Every structure is written in C-alpha cells, then in structure tokens.
C-alpha cells in the first residue's frame, strides 16, 4: 500500500500517548466496554470526534467519556478523576476538592450533588471552545 | 409489544404495500427512540427482520400497480421523509451498525421510488435535476475543503498556539488578517493606478516631472541618496509627482486622474467596510454566549484539553498551563472574597495616572522640539546623517522606551491582568497618537512653506521657457523651437511628493527599528542568557534578565499604527502599500521564528478571545484619524502646478466635476448638481442621525430584555434548587399526589417553562436531548419507583397531561411525541401510556 510507514516503533507510539482521556475514549466507543473496537465502532468514534459532528452528539459522548463509573451521572469522584488526569496530579487535594465543588455548584441544576446528562449538556453547549 | 406488532401487521394488510414501509419505519423509529440507547442487540435484530420483510413486500407490490395522482403525492411525501431521515442520520446517537442499516434501507427506498416518481412528469428531467442537486452539494463541500486548505500559515500559527496559548496566537491571526487587507489594497492601487501609468503613460525622461533635474543627476544613483528616497526613486511611479495630468491616456482612453482619485477614496472605503464587518462578526460571537461567567470552573474542567496536540513537549506545556489556569482561578475565587484597603489602592492609582500623563506630555513636547529643529536643519547646508534623521530616531526611541516605563508605573495599580493590559494599550495608544499628530503638524508647516515657494518658482519657470523660445527663435527663423531638455526646466517644490517621501521614510525606519528590537531584545538576549548562564554569578534564567515574554500589546499597537501611517501616506505615495505588503510577509516568518526560538510562555495565562474587538476598535479609530489629514489636504490645499495627476487644477476634487461634465450625458450632471445641494444633504444627515438614535434605542431595549430573561432563568434555577433541597426528605409518592392536586399553578408555569426552555435552546432541542430524557426516565433506577407510583391513579392519569407526574423541569417532553393531550378515555391508548414509563 505504498511506502507509508505502517509499523510504528514503541518510541514513536509513545509520542502520541499524551491524551489524558485515551483510555476512556476507547472504552466508551467499544462494543464490550473494555476497549476492543470493531471497524464500525472505530468509524463511530471518528465520526463523533470529527469537526462536522453536531454539538449535541458530541456533548452526549463527552458525557459518557467523563462518566468514569458508567452510572449515567458525573459524580464527585468522576470529577476528581478528571481533574487529576488533566493536571497530572499537580494540584493539592484541597485544590482538587475546591474545584470539584465549584463545578457542581455551577452546573448542577437539579441539585442532587451530581451532574446528569441534561445538566452537562446545558452547561457545555454554551462553552465557546468545546471540542 | 407483541400486541403492537399484531396491530401493525393488520394495518399493513389493510393499506397499500407502498404506504406500509413508511409508517412502519416511523413506528420503528419511535421504537428506537424509546428504547435504551445502549442498544439491545435483540431489539436491533427484530427491527432488521421487520424491515427486510417490509421492503420485500414493497418491492413485490410496486411493479404491478399503476401510479395514480394521490399515490404520487403520497409517494413523494414518503420519499421526502426518507430524505430527511438520511440527512439527520448523523445527529442520532445510535451505534454505527444500527445507523448503517437504517441508512441503507432508506437510501434504497429513495432510489427506487425517486425514479418512479419521474414517470409521471418527465422522468429524465427529474432524475437530471436530482443528479445536479447532488453534484452541487458535493461541489460545495469540495470547495469548502479547498478554501480551508488555502488559508496560509495555518500550521505555523497552530504551532505557536500550542506552545504559547491563544493570546499570542491571536496576534498572529491579526497579522494574517492585516496581510489580507493590505494585499487587496495593493491589488487595487497597483492594478488601477501604477500599471496604467507605467504601460500607457509617457515614459521616464519625456516630461519635466518625470525626470531627475540636471542639478541632481550626478548623485541620483548613489545608495545614500536612494536610501533617503531621493534620486531616481523620487521620480518614479512610487510617488505622486510622477503622474501625468493628461485626462485620458493610451488607446483605451483610461482616465488616470479620475482613477487616482477614486482609488484613493476606495482604499479608505474598503478598509472601513472590512474593519466594521470584522467587528460585527466578533460582536455576534460574543453575544451568542454572552458573558456567562457562570461556568468558569466547569468549562475549565471539560474544555481545556486540546485534543489536537500530538507532541509530547507541547502536551507537557498544556498540562502545565492547565494546572496554572486552575490555580489562577482558585486564587481569583479566593481573592474575590477578600476585602482590600480601598483608599490606598485609589491613591496609588491616581498617582500612577498622574505620572503617566507627565510622561506623555514630556514626549509630546520633545517631538515638537525636535521637529522644529529639523526645519532649521533643512535650511542649513551640510547636515550630518544624524541631523537629517533626528526626527525618526527620536520617535522610534520614544516608542521603544516609554511602554516598559508605563508598565513599571502600572505595577503600582495592581489590576487584574486583563484590565491592566487594556490600560497599558490605551496609554501606549495615546503616546503613539501624540507622536503622530505632532509629526503631522510639523509636516503641515513644511507644506505651507512649499506652497509659498511655488508661486516664486512658477514665475521663474515661465520666464525661463520664454527666454528659451526667444533665443531659439532667434537662431532659426521659421524652424520650430527645439523643446527644452526636461532636465533643465526649473522645477516646483512639489509638496505632495515630499509628504509621500516623509511617510515612506517613517515607515521604513519603523520597520527597521522593529526588526532590530526583536533581534536584539529577544534573540541576543536569549543567546546571552543561555550561554552566559554557565559562568555568571546569579541565575540568569530565573532572575534578571531571563528570557523575554512575547509582548502582545506592544506588537499589536505597532501593527495598528503602522497601518495608520500606510493609510495616511498611500494617497501621496502609491508604492507605500507594496512596501507594507512585503513588510507584513517577512514579519510573519520572522516573528514566528523569533517567538518559537527566544520567547517563553507568559506566567499568567489568561484568555484573550474577547480582546479581538478591542484591537478592531483601535484600528477603526486609527482609520478615522488617518482619514482626516488626507481629507483636509484634498479639500483645502491646491495641488502643485507641475507635478501629479491633478496639476493645473485649483483643487483636487475638481477632477470629479470635470469627468461628470465631459464624460457623462447631460442629465447626470444635473442630477449631481441637485444632489450636491445643501438643502438636500442636510436633511439626509438629520435622517441618518435619527436612524442611529432609533437603532441605539432598539439595541438597548433588546439588551434589557436579555438581561431580564437571564435573571428569570437564574431565579428559576435557584427556586428549583431550593425546592429540591426542601423536598429531598419527603416521600416521592406523596409529592406526586401533591403535584397532581395543584394543576392550576403548574399549568401556568408550564408554558413559561416551556417558553424559557425554548428560548434557552432554540435550535438545540435535539433528538439526543429527548432520548437522553427518555433513557434517564426509563433506564435509571431512581425513576423506577416513581413509575410504580403512576399506576395507582390511572383515572387521574388520563384526564391530566402525563407530564405532571414526571419531573417538572421537563414539561414539554412528551408533547412532541404526538400523544393527545386532555381526556382520552375512550381509546385503547390508555394502555401504552401507562406502560411507557415502565
């Protein structure tokens, strides 16, 4: 298939390993929830992540990605995991706590202490640099 | 669901085969919506079986039936529905397998029946139209892709952005935009003024105005003379003085003076239009998301990671900047709860402002003094290089040293960085403006002197020519007198060219100073810090001088003022815009290199997205300010008598009158004379003022309405939160009964809530949202108990809208499903309504 490189050395692959949510993305788009994808799932993933996908669709999948324990709610522990992944554990626990509390205060509309899909969508649709 | 399938089969047998697939499809669609999104495989298989059976049924029945009119219409409707399904397929959050199968089925249906539709009305034409429509869509998409690829320097700017953040990248995006504008201006001037004169006008050396005077010819090619834009460059198409005032030139009868004038005006017109359009676009984007500072932390958490990063070093930078940004928000949050000593702060700020005003006045006076001195210098004979360029040097030095001075004084004020940046920009703007206008005043003095000189020279020229004719007539009686060599004719001072030369020199010196500053201030400094660090007493990288940060405000202002000078000078020196285009091109590459190699990211990273309109506002201001001197000189100063396209006229704008009288039919002249009547113009101006006032009032009213709506939404959210808090402990079943027993208040609030929801998300009520709610209702365990609470009072259920029992925030939800509201006791529909929440 031409002379493009199709076999990557481990070092080259390492260079692409920086997305903090890579594991979650693979899990969300895979059939069995474990990270193994068929071609159709693969296509699905790229279709959602492309620029032309509508924001609602992206918001829906983003919610699933950030929901680490798959309970259809983003609870405080999910938020803590997100923050730690984003900052590579550089923030102190008090700071992490403060950030999570602020997020819940800002976005939780029905006030159940966690973010449901509607809360998340309502908040993310307005964000100017969402994906 | 078995009962339902039986009902569907019966319905299918009753109706014609063609109609069934659609209704069936719709039913299956609704089914798909209602079931859990996670996609049970069995459900999918069932649906696929049903679909294949219906499609086979339809293919059997389509062949033999002839198409009557109503069938045609029905068929068309189905085809439209299928097409809509195809086009919205992307938005549905189904699994890819499901989407593909539904899509293929719909496409097969459309293809089969689209051709059939055409039988009734000229099949070929219809099919052709469809094909053209498809090709057009594809063409548009390809063209869009092509356009995106054509944007220059995109990768470079992305690289800068990934290392330094969006505020630094916004400078480069601004630079690229300026380059585009200048390119268009250059195209206008070059194509409509310079090229015709060069191609069709008289060549160099044929006329006095196009020739270097005899006295200067010896030094005309020297580099130092050329560098000062004298010598051969002065007498070239780059400057105003070269152009001939012939009314039409060449075989095309191209009206050059008219073109020159109109191009000068359209340069300003185009720039104005482009700046305002850009501002309007930015303003639109801003109001679309409003100042929603409600979601700072949430957005930071969920949208700060840039998924396009593919470089480990950049990823490290991004992690660091995210961490910093979180820390900064936390600090901001804590600081807003702190109280400060207000009096001390105010005093410090007043002090800082006083100091800065002193600086500004000082610099203004310095420039005035220097310009006056340069006028006395120009009268002296042998002036050194320093004296000749003193004005430019002083202005550049002021521009280099005052801004850091302002910054150190501003440290007293202790503002938030974004506000501090705006103050800094404002002050530097005032500085440059003062400098520029002082320079202009001095220039005006110069021009007036030249005008006075002109009268003297006019006389000299006339007498010289007369003398030459007499002497040549004396030699040969009937021979026509040989024309005087153009180099020998005494020349007028041509103030327009002088002005043009001044602007060009200022621009060139500005370019040089900028490049040298970057080279020394950033690159040499970085090299010094890097290499001397090994043998220096203190840590150069951490303390003084350390690496430079990219000075966004200084660079942006430099760009804006440079553009102002171009606008001012382009009427008198058409070649100036070309020089600027070259400058912007090289500047892009040079500054990108300098930023990547010698700068470090800012310590405090803040978003600069809303400052874009600020820069545009500055640009607009400069545009007006640079329009003023040009308009003044056009209107009130007489053009030189022997150079330029307007020579010989009393005022430059007379070229318009001349063109109208001679080139247009008579009635056009009459129309223009009526239009130019003050009696017509003053009411027109009044009308425009009134229109502005009215539009302003309307805009204010909209803003107020917006604010009210936002407040309402806020209050509602607070209310709901409070309600949830209070009722969290009560029995959910009791709560439902209570809700059901108070229908009046609920029904009143429903339209309002629905309306608010609609206003909140006008185009975004999507199937996803509905699906989400459905899934949440059906699948989540928390509402399972509530579903059980429904079944006890079914009679209440059918008389009230079912929404009451569900969570109040989503009143409008079941309505779009087409369930009839109000009492429907008779039909068997009561059955599915009770069962759907289960």
Residues B134-192: tens digit of each pLDDT: 899 899 989 988 888 888 888 888 778 767 766 777 888 889 999 999 999 999 999 99
- pLDDT in the model for residue A100: 83
Residue B773 tokens read as: 């709610």
The predicted model gives A60-64 an average pLDDT of 84
B312 or B778, which is more confident? Answer: B312
More confident residue, B536 or B744: B536
Q: With CB atoms and an 8 Å threshold, state whether A90 touches B97.
A: no
pLDDT at residue B787 in the model: 36
Q: Where residue B791 falls among pLDDT bands split at 50, 70, 90?
A: very low
Q: Cα-Cα-Cα-Cα dihedral of B331, B335, B340, B343, to 10°?
A: 80
Query: Whole-structure pTM over 0.80, yes or no?
Result: no
Chain B residues with CB under 8 Å of A90 CB are 319, 323
CB B83 within 8 A of CB B34: no
Judged by CB atoms closer than 8 Å, whether chains meet at A118 and B297 is answered as no
Predicted local distance difference test score (pLDDT) of residue A6: 61
- Picking from A72, A110, A127, the nearest residue to B303 by CB comes out as A127
Q: Which residue of A has its CA nearest to B98?
A: A40
Query: With 90 as the cut, is the pLDDT of residue B114 above it?
Result: no
- pLDDT exceeds 90 at position B598: no
- Position B165 scores a pLDDT of 67
Structure confidence at residue B458 (pLDDT): 79
Q: Between residues B781 and B170, which one has the greater pLDDT?
A: B170
Among B56-65, B92-101, B456-465, the range scoring the smallest mean pLDDT is B56-65
- Beta strand pairing status for B548-549 and B599-600? parallel
How close is the nearest chain A Cα to the Cα of B174, in Å? 19
State both tokens at B381: 């004979």
Rg for chain A, CA atoms, rounded: 17
Q: Which residue has the higher pLDDT, B818 or B332?
A: B332
* Contact flag B312-A15 (C-beta cutoff 8 Å): yes
Residues of A in contact with B92 (CB under 8 A): 57
In chain B, pLDDT over 70 holds for what percent of residues? Answer: 68
Buried b (16+ CB within 10 A) or exposed e, B216-250: beeebeeeebeebbbbebbbbbbbbbbbbbbbebe
Q: What is the pLDDT of residues A85-119, one digit of tens each?
A: 877 777 788 888 888 888 887 777 677 777 888 77
Q: Angle, to 10 degrees, between the axis of helix A55-66 and the axis of helix A117-124?
A: 130
Contact B677, B292 (CB under 8 A): no
Interchain CB distance below 8 Å, A109 and B96: no
Stretch B25-49: mean pLDDT, rounded? 41
- Cβ contact, residue pair B721, A109, below 8 Å: yes
More confident residue, B264 or A21: B264
- Between B478 and B339, where is the model more confident? B339
CA angle in degrees (0–180, nearest 5) for B85-B87-B91:
85
Statement: residue A34 has pLDDT above 90? no
The average pLDDT across B265-272 equals 93
Which chain A residue lies closest to B728 (C-alpha atoms)? A112
Q: What is the C-alpha to C-alpha distance for residues A78 and A75, in angstroms, rounded to an integer? A: 5
Say yes or no: ipTM exceeds 0.85: no
pLDDT greater at residue B593 or residue A87: B593
CB pairs under 8 A between A and B: 153
Which among B96, B309, B330 has the least Cβ separation from residue A41?
A: B96
Q: pLDDT digits over B345-388, tens only?
A: 888 888 888 888 888 888 888 887 887 787 777 777 677 777 77
| pLDDT tens for each residue of B11-22 | 444 444 444 344
Q: What is the structure's pLDDT at B762? A: 39
Whether residue A122 is predicted with pLDDT greater than 80 in this model: the reply is: no
Mutate to test the interface with B, among A60, A73, A80, A96 (most CBs of B within 10 A): A60
Higher pLDDT, B665 or A19: B665
Higher pLDDT, B766 or B170: B170
Question: What confidence category does residue B790 fall into, taking pLDDT thresholds of 50, 70 and 90?
Answer: very low
pLDDT tens string B811-834? 333 333 433 444 434 443 334 343
Interface test with B, best of A48, A82, A102 (most B CBs within 10 A): A102
CA distances from B550 to B130, B299, B581, B698, B730 (A): 55, 26, 23, 42, 59
Tell which residue, B117, B110, B45, has the closest CA to residue B80: B110
Contact (CB<8Å) B764/A130: no
Given this model, what pLDDT does residue B84 score? 83
How far is the C-alpha of B279 from the C-alpha of B621, rounded, in Å?
12
């Amino acid at each position: 298939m031409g002379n493009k490189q199709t076999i990557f050395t481990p070092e080259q692959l390492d260079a692409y390993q920086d997305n903090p949510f890579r594991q979650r993305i693979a899990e969300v788009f895979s059939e069995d929830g474990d990270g193994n994808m068929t071609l159709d799932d693969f296509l699905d993933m790229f279709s959602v992540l492309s620029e032309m996908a509508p924001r609602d669709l992206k918001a829906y999948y983003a919610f699933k990605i950030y929901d680490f324990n798959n309970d259809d709610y983003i609870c405080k522990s999910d938020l803590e995991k997100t923050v730690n992944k984003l900052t590579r554990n550089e923030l102190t626990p008090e700071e992490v706590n403060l950030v999570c509390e602020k997020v819940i205060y800002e976005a939780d509309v029905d006030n159940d202490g966690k973010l449901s899909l509607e809360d998340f969508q309502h908040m993310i649709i307005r964000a100017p640099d969402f994906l | 669901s078995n009962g339902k399938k039986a009902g569907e089969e019966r319905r299918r047998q009753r109706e014609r085969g063609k109609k069934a697939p659609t209704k069936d499809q719709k039913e299956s669609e609704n089914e798909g919506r209602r079931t859990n999104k996670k996609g049970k495989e069995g459900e999918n298989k069932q649906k696929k079986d049903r679909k294949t059976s219906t499609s086979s049924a339809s293919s059997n029945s389509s062949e033999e039936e002839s198409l009557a009119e109503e069938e045609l219409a029905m068929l068309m409707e189905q085809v439209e529905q299928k097409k809509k399904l195809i086009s919205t397929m992307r938005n549905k959050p189904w699994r890819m397998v499901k989407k593909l199968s539904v899509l293929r089925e719909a496409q097969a249906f459309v293809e089969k029946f689209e051709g059939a539709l055409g039988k009734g009305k000229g099949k070929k034409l219809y099919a052709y139209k469809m094909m053209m429509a498809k090709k057009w869509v594809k063409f548009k998409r390809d063209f869009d892709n092509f356009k995106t690829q054509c944007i220059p320097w995109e990768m470079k700017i992305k690289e800068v952005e990934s290392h330094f953040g969006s505020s630094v990248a916004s400078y480069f995006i601004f630079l690229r935009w300026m380059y585009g504008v200048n390119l268009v201006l250059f195209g206008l001037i070059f194509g409509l003024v310079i090229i015709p004169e060069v191609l069709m006008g008289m060549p160099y050396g044929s006329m006095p105005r196009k020739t270097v005077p005899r006295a200067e010819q010896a030094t005309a090619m020297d580099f130092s003379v050329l560098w000062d834009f004298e010598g051969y460059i002065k007498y070239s198409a780059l400057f105003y003085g070269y152009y001939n005032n012939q009314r039409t030139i060449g075989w095309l009868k191209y009206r050059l003076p008219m073109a020159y004038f109109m191009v000068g005006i359209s340069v300003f017109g185009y720039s104005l239009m482009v700046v305002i359009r850009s501002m309007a676009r930015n303003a639109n984007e801003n109001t679309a998301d409003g100042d929603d500072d409600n979601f700072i932390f949430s957005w930071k958490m969920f949208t700060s990671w840039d998924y396009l990063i593919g470089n480990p070093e950049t990823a490290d930078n991004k992690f660091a900047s995210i961490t910093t940004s979180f820390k900064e928000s936390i600090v901001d949050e804590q600081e807003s709860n702190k109280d400060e000593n207000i009096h001390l702060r105010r005093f410090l700020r007043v002090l800082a402002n006083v100091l800065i005003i002193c600086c500004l006045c000082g610099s203004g006076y310095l420039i005035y003094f220097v310009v006056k001195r340069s006028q006395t210098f120009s009268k002296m004979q042998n002036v050194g290089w320093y004296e000749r360029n003193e004005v430019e040097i002083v202005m550049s030095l002021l521009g280099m040293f005052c801004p850091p001075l302002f910054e150190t004084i501003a440290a007293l004020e202790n503002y938030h960085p974004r506000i501090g940046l705006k103050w800094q920009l404002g002050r530097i703007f005032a500085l440059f403006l003062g400098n520029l206008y002082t320079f202009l005043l001095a220039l005006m003095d110069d021009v007036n002197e030249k005008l006075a000189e002109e009268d003297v020279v006019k006389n000299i020229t006339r007498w010289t020519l007369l003398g030459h004719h007499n002497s040549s007539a004396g030699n040969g009686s009937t021979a026509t007198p040989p024309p005087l060599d153009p180099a020998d004719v005494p020349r007028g001072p041509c103030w327009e060219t002088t002005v043009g030369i001044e602007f060009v020199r200022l621009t060139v010196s500005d370019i040089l100073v900028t490049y040298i500053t970057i080279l020394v201030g950033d690159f040499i400094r970085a090299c010094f810090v890097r290499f001397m660090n090994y043998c220096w007493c203190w840590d150069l990288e951490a303390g003084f001088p350390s690496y430079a940060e990219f000075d966004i405000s200084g660079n942006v202002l430099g760009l804006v003022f440079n553009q102002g000078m171009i606008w001012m000078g382009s009427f008198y020196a058409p070649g100036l815009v070309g020089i600027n285009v070259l400058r912007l091109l090289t500047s892009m590459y040079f500054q990108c290199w300098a930023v990547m190699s010698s700068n470090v990211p800012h310590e405090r990273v803040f978003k600069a997205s809303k400052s874009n309109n600020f820069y545009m506002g500055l640009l607009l201001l400069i545009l007006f300010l640079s329009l003023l001197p040009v308009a003044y000189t056009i209107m009130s100063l007489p053009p030189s008598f022997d150079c330029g396209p307007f020579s010989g006229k009393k005022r430059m704008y007379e070229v318009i009158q001349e063109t109208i009288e001679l080139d247009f039919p008579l009635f056009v002249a009459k129309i223009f004379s009526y239009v130019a009547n003050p009696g017509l113009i003053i009411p027109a101006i009044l009308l425009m003022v009134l229109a502005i006032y009215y539009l302003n009032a309307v805009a204010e009213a909209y803003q107020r309405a917006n604010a009210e709506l936002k407040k309402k939404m806020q209050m509602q959210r607070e209310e709901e939160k409070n309600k949830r808090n209070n009722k969290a402990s009560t029995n959910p079943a009791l709560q439902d009964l209570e809700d059901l027993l108070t229908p009046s208040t609920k029904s009143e609030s429903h339209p309002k809530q629905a309306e608010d929801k609609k206003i909140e998300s006008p185009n975004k009520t999507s199937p996803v949202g509905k699906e989400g709610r459905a899934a949440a209702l059906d699948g989540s365990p928390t509402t399972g108990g509530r579903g059980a609470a429904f079944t006890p009072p079914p009679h209440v259920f059918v008389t009230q809208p079912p929404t009451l029992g569900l969570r109040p925030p989503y009143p409008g939800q079941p309505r779009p499903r087409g369930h009839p509201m109000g009492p429907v006791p008779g039909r068997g529909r009561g059955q599915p309504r009770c069962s759907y929440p289960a």
